[in-house]
Amino acid sequence: MIITYHGIQHFKVQHGDMVLAFDPVSKESKFKSSKFGAEIVLVSLNDKDMNGAENSEFGGKKPFVIRGPGEYEINNIFIKSFATVSNYGDKGRINTVYMLTVDGMNICFLGALGESIDKETLSLLDDVDVLFVPIGGEGVLDPSAAYKMAVELEPKIIIPMHYDEKSDALKKFLKEGGEEKKTPESKLTLKKKDLEGKEGEIVVLEANS
């Protein structure tokens, strides 16, 4: 599995010929959008900064787009998604948290989460290998709340997202995790065996244009 970051909450997750796109930035957004073809698109929040599924229709691909809570099975990938709350752009918006397995590894994508998750939903997000967590503060979790959420979910790897590189959000998040600095990586290549012995390791990915 190869994970690359394209800014805000936009990620490409690839396993073999299968490509998943999380929260692609739309053409209407003030943020720069990236184009690549995907079989599956997962949108956590109906916002121009995260709902640009059209940018995953590339290279002749017509992705299956998931925009809300439910259970789905596409190309042998089983996806569970849950309604939570985001305050990004406005108060009390519906945010979708995604839980899925790719290449034998359990991925939890928190989207634009702005408030703590209720205990019932939290109990369904178990055995997380890779966690994507927003740490930006503006309408989403702040660094302290983000790290607290990460600790509750007990992932093996934590990937922070949705933060302004000019702010100190990442520095604060790393400090919460007992680290001073992390050198951003251009991509993260993972196999199941790579997770052995890891407990809450923070991996910072640089945004690819």
Distance CA 122, CA 149 (A): 10
Distance CA 56, CA 23 (A): 10
Distance CA 63, CA 207 (A): 23
pLDDT tier for residue 17 given thresholds of 50, 70 and 90: very high
CATH code that applies to domain 2-202 = 3.60.15.10
Task: List the structure tokens of 80.
Answer: 């569970």
Residue ranges per domain, the chain? 2-202
Q: What is the pLDDT of residue 196?
A: 95
Distance CA 49, CA 164 (A): 14
Q: Model's pTM, two decimal places?
A: 0.97
pLDDT 10s digits, 110-168: 999 999 999 999 999 999 999 999 999 889 999 999 999 999 999 999 999 999 988 89
pLDDT tier for residue 59 given thresholds of 50, 70 and 90: confident
pLDDT tier for residue 101 given thresholds of 50, 70 and 90: very high
Name the amino acid, one letter, at 172. K
Long-range contacts of 162-168 (CB under 8 A, 24+ apart): 162/8, 162/9, 162/112, 162/134, 162/135, 162/136, 163/134, 163/135, 163/136, 163/137, 164/136, 165/207, 167/136, 167/137
Closest CA relative to residue 188, chosen from 208, 174, 169, 168: 208
Give 16's contacts (C-beta < 8 A, 6+ positions apart).
Answer: none
